Structure 1
């Protein structure tokens, strides 16, 4: 009898181990109910993920393209399961336009044990149907206004001063753009000074950076269940998550007390208010039942948790995307000094050749060439490698029928480097986005260029990001000249994170202040 009892724990352990092996093997077997979509072997995906900073372009060309180029669709293993990626503009059009079928992925269901989805919670980015319309009705007014350039003045001028101070040695572009962007976001979102530029070692900036690192960690994204066993640095990041939410909740509480005791905002106050003020104004209005969605139905007021989740979303969505984009603009203009000088001459012609110049709202509209540079940079270095949806019903894509519940994403890199959409895709040609040259693409393949997603669920902060980039780039061109160090690997390649939000790894730039 004792022997049998002694064997019981071993039998339980063996059964548990067998179940884990069964689940892993089952997860690695690709679905076969799609009509034969080409499949990238798991081993090849893991091989490229282990390479680290190889660059998304190389991954796209050597891993994805051989399987996708004929069919325009491929299935691949990611986030611990199987998903489909599409690289044809006609398939992307379906995903962006048929929002009732191609629904936003509920990250909590896809990665139920992971830290990442909990940073932004159930925000606008992950809702569908009436819930999404309600979120957008409350949040949309804060983003539909124009963005006065003066809102960005203080943090962006401080960023320029820091770059000048750091210019004695090669500049770590992404590092300083991240810190500058965090200060911009704190200022714009809730008039808060993170002091990321003036006190780069402060604890709040370190907490925020650590959370973003946790959210984008490739190992935990490939194997989300690892968060069940978080230890060391990962356990510390879970603590940071609680601190971050408590920080936002505290500011919401303070601001709500202020707003409930003051008169309604004037139009001028509203135009210059931070995002939190505008969001809380709409939030309080929704509590009275006076906010209607796009169908004319009163929206269900957001909960306090949803309010906090959307504010966290603004930080996450605006932080690395803008910092990465600015880094890539500096990289491309360092590679092509003649384009850098052309852009500088245009900026000087509009702002004047004066170090203290800062663009007004009218002047920024005259800097259209910078928009072309930003668009071409985002085409060549798309920050979002994939724009992901989940099917609410089976869908026919070409000869394939994808099953209900499948995860489908637009592979922006496949589309942005497709010569059928963008001739000579490996060349940096800002003029390809000029109105007279881009008209044909817009009419024949309007969804081929989608760095901010597309359709009704296009990134709500796109206009905000583009205005910030336009101001920052004009100031950079006015104050500095720059190039890559002679031994930089970025002359001929673009080392980057291969998945998630794409960011340059190890980008150093030689910056020289201009003489006035």
Structure 2
């Protein structure tokens, strides 16, 4: 929708005379966004930087506004901002970062690999990794684990098996050593108003280039090993042989870039959901008991059978718990875009060329849609409750034509993984208070989420 003469101007969030809102956005952006919605409304403008060099960032907090940006006006809001450009240069132009015809071609080629039937076929790998993790937890001295790190390791093992099949050991070693520092490097460059070109031989640039080269070499080696065989069902093999009459097939660079994007997006988001679901259940033992009763009824209690994809429909309360955890701790707390032309979002003018964010972190705490929004309450996700809310009051997987292609895989991995762990363990909170979090490329825990895991039976 183009601008109308009745469009309002977004209120400016006041900051310091010297730097505007830059300090707030660098130090604690999630708190800054919550305050801005409370004090100024559903579409605001942050002005950041020193006088003469300030830039505006528009942030949209309403469900209606998020739907306009991501869905109904999606063509006007593109992935052209600086953070996506840094990600493109670090991990390539895959589905997360590509645009226009490139994105559409990639999506058509990759979509058949993420059908519900295909994804359900990975349930066995998920269950096996969860059982292996449970065995490790039983041997932990004192029974105390750090949930964020453990769930990142679990999710990386799962996505590694699904992507790489049997080539997991070498892949894990390289990924764990290279991917986190590359993400941190990209994020720092995104926030920096002055940064050296990547071609300059600074220590940071040289280290990033080495890590990037190592990660690319890993992917290229695995891709090459799949070119002459099609008898495996890991995603790399399927990607190598993906083609259709309209789009052809993926070339060597495209294959590598898709694999790197799947590694980045495929484990971080699921790990966050799993870690905070367990953290919340540890702090709410009555909810944990309700989930465990449901899981025991389906899987048979400690040492019972492995879960399957068909069991997901038999675990509705566990699924509600997971959705509520994703409401409170969305893996992507903000989603960035840049406007092409003047537009109106939720009655407010967004000028052409403006950097804009929508924020699941804030919208999923908006009191207009979520009474007592900070309270953990899985019953918010009964079918009746979900039907009574706007579509974009909850959007942890994004939305519109750029919605996450792997959301069913993430839900499968999360539900089945939680089912195994909660069947085998009582999870007790070992911390006082909430786990502090911050906003990077994904939601980041800024402190440990320790829990005691006591084996059942």
User: Residues 77, 124 of structure 1: CA spacing in aligned structure 2 closer, same or farther, 3 A cutoff?
Assistant: farther
User: Residues 498, 362 of structure 1: CA spacing in aligned structure 2 closer, same or farther, 3 A cutoff?
Assistant: closer
Please state if 1:65 is matched with 2:37.
yes
RMSD: 2.7
Give the match for residue 189 of structure 2: 220
Q: C-alpha deviations, 1:41-63, integer Å up to 9, x for none?
A: 37364433564xx683x34333x
Give the match for residue 171 of structure 1: 145
Whole-angstrom distance in 1 between the partners of 2:301 and 2:342: 59
The one of 1, 7, 23 aligned to 1:47 = 23
The one of 316, 326, 333 aligned to 2:281 = 333
On the 8 A contact 1:480/1:514 being kept in 2, the answer is: yes
On the 8 A contact 2:126/2:413 being kept in 1, the answer is: yes
Q: State the shift of 1:405 in Å.
A: 2.3
Q: C-alpha deviations, 1:389-434, integer Å up to 9, x for none?
A: 2222221124532222222221112211111111111111101111
Q: C-alpha deviations, 1:57-115, integer Å up to 9, x for none?
A: x34333x334542x43334549x9532110111211111223553343135x6676x4x
Please state if 1:412 is matched with 2:412.
no
On the 8 A contact 2:145/2:453 being kept in 1, the answer is: no
Q: C-alpha deviations, 1:206-245, integer Å up to 9, x for none?
A: 2233323334x4x433106435367445632321011111
Whole-angstrom distance in 2 between the partners of 1:223 and 1:327: 30
Secondary structure of the 2:356 match is strand
User: Residues 111, 140 of structure 1: CA spacing in aligned structure 2 closer, same or farther, 3 A cutoff?
Assistant: closer
Secondary structure of the 1:126 match is coil
Whole-angstrom distance in 1 between the partners of 2:405 and 2:342: 28
Task: Report the number of matched residues.
Answer: 439
Q: TM-score, normalised by structure 1?
A: 0.78
Please state if 1:275 is matched with 2:220.
no
Please state if 1:237 is matched with 2:208.
yes
Q: State the shift of 1:280 in Å.
A: 2.1
User: Which stretches in structure 2 are left out of the alignment for 5+ residues?
Assistant: 1-6
On the 8 A contact 1:173/1:508 being kept in 2, the answer is: yes
Whole-angstrom distance in 2 between the partners of 1:104 and 1:158: 42
On the 8 A contact 2:241/2:249 being kept in 1, the answer is: no
Secondary structure of the 1:208 match is helix
Please state if 1:479 is matched with 2:436.
no
Secondary structure of the 1:357 match is coil
Secondary structure of the 1:154 match is helix
On the 8 A contact 2:365/2:374 being kept in 1, the answer is: yes
Secondary structure of the 2:96 match is helix
User: Residues 341, 427 of structure 1: CA spacing in aligned structure 2 closer, same or farther, 3 A cutoff?
Assistant: same
Whole-angstrom distance in 1 between the partners of 2:456 and 2:329: 31
Give the match for residue 351 of structure 2: 403
On the 8 A contact 1:167/1:510 being kept in 2, the answer is: no
User: Residues 406, 302 of structure 1: CA spacing in aligned structure 2 closer, same or farther, 3 A cutoff?
Assistant: farther
Whole-angstrom distance in 1 between the partners of 2:416 and 2:359: 29
Whole-angstrom distance in 1 between the partners of 2:290 and 2:67: 35
Whole-angstrom distance in 2 between the partners of 1:334 and 1:47: 34
1:315-464 equivalences under 5 Å are: 315-441=263-389, 445-464=390-409
Give the match for residue 188 of structure 1: 162
- Structure showing greater radius of gyration is 1
User: Which stretches in structure 1 are left out of the alignment for 5+ residues?
Assistant: 1-33, 260-264, 291-297
User: Residues 332, 59 of structure 1: CA spacing in aligned structure 2 closer, same or farther, 3 A cutoff?
Assistant: farther
Give the match for residue 90 of structure 2: 119
